[in-house]
Amino acid sequence: TDFGALAPDELPDGVSLPIGSPGAITFGLSAVRNVGTGLVAQLLEERDENGPFESFHDFVERVPEPVLNKRTVESLIKGGAFDTLGHPRRGLLTVFEEIIDTTVSRRREREKGVMNLFGDWGGEDADDGDGAGVGFDERTPIPDLVFDKTEQLRNEKEMLGLYVSDHPLFGVESALKRKVENSVLDLNAMEDGAQVLVGGVITNLARKFTKRGDQMAVFVLEDLDASIEVTIFPRTLAEQGHKLEEDLIVSVKGRLDRRDESRFGLIGQTISVLSGLTDGPAAPLRLRLPSAALDELKIQRLKRILREHPGESVVMVDIGQGTVLKLADEFRVDLDRSVGELRMAFGHEAVLL
């Protein structure tokens, strides 16, 4: 969805552009919600004949009027089609209807031969480089307003069906790993009925009804490597349903359901909303290991695990009775690689994070 992109026949023979390159086709225009192939054909015909669009104003001035259907243009904005023209999506959404109304009115008057007070639409002297030759001083400015990442990606996914420019989990991968016990990929090697704790983004959330008329929910939990369908039965939904929202980052504790080859899913039992995740400075590793239960063997096992996974996180050990020990810097640890092994060695409740 790049209105400044080169057409494929404009590239030298044997040259192709990888996804994400300037001028590459990242997502097909006709696949954007509310945008059909007929409108795309008209739009591309104008671009091929008169060159890439240089601004949103230039786009509105040049494309055939049917392309300026407001639902279509809104979908293109939310999907990021005008990003390469330098317009922020939120700012463009606040003024695009006004720009379309004003420009279409001018175009219709011009087609009827109407002259404004300054002559034939200002002529070449009024052109500021956009190539449209209209009264640019009267153009509605596009404010420099941007969405936060969550809202922008929600709009993008609504229009495209997937995340393209970014992903809700980019930049918080390590923080998410510290909140869960398994990745979605790990589940492939686990047996039916296994208790798991996984995390990711809620997508494709749908409310359904059982044969008895009770409401349940189904959604896809997606991390950066894989996804799995999660089913929330009525009793759990009554307790946990308020935590379910599209594009929300959550952890799900539940039972793996793979009774036969045609079924691979998760029966959700507990949902936790994970807000404020950050991959900033390394968080400390907090352990609860009561001194009464510690013996030499366990101490040596702890030292071995910490030394096998060196990193930046300070280790704090709560040994009970209000006493917390900060271990020496030689035992600083990599949280992502050590947490699973520590839980296996000392129990899930021993790792506090």
Q: What is the pLDDT of residue 57?
A: 95
Q: What is the pLDDT of residue 279?
A: 58
Bridging pattern class, strands 315-320 and 285-288: parallel
Angle between helices 89-111 and 70-79 (to 10 degrees): 150
For residue 34, which of 3, 73, 91 has the smallest C-alpha distance? Answer: 73
Predicted confidence pLDDT, tens digits, the chain (353 residues)? 444 443 444 444 454 444 444 455 567 888 899 998 999 999 999 999 999 999 999 999 999 999 999 999 999 999 999 988 989 999 999 999 999 999 999 888 888 876 555 444 444 444 444 444 444 457 899 999 998 888 888 899 889 888 887 888 887 887 888 889 899 999 999 999 999 999 999 999 999 999 999 999 999 999 988 999 999 999 999 999 999 999 899 999 999 998 877 778 999 999 999 877 765 566 788 899 988 888 889 999 999 999 998 887 889 999 888 888 889 888 988 877 788 788 888 888 888 86
Q: What is the pLDDT of residue 307?
A: 92
Residue 327 burial class via C-beta count within 10 angstroms: exposed 0-12, middle 13-18, buried 19 and up:
middle
* H-helix or E-strand spanning residue 325: strand 323-326
Tell me, what DSSP letter sits at residue 66?
A: G
Beta strands in 187-322 (DSSP E): 195-209, 215-222, 227-232, 249-257, 265-273, 285-288, 310-313, 315-320
**End-to-end Cα separation, the chain, in angstroms:** 42
On whether the pTM is more than 0.95, the answer is no
- C-alpha to C-alpha distance for 151 and 133, rounded to whole angstroms: 36
Residue 139 burial class via C-beta count within 10 angstroms: exposed 0-12, middle 13-18, buried 19 and up:
buried
What are the phi and psi torsion angles at 231 (to 5°)? -110, 130
For residue 82, which of 17, 142, 124 has the smallest C-alpha distance? Answer: 142
- C-alpha to C-alpha distance for 61 and 99, rounded to whole angstroms: 10
Q: What is the pLDDT of residue 282?
A: 67
For 205-214, give one letter per residue: b (16+ CB within 10 A) or e. beeeeeeeee
* H-helix or E-strand spanning residue 324: strand 323-326
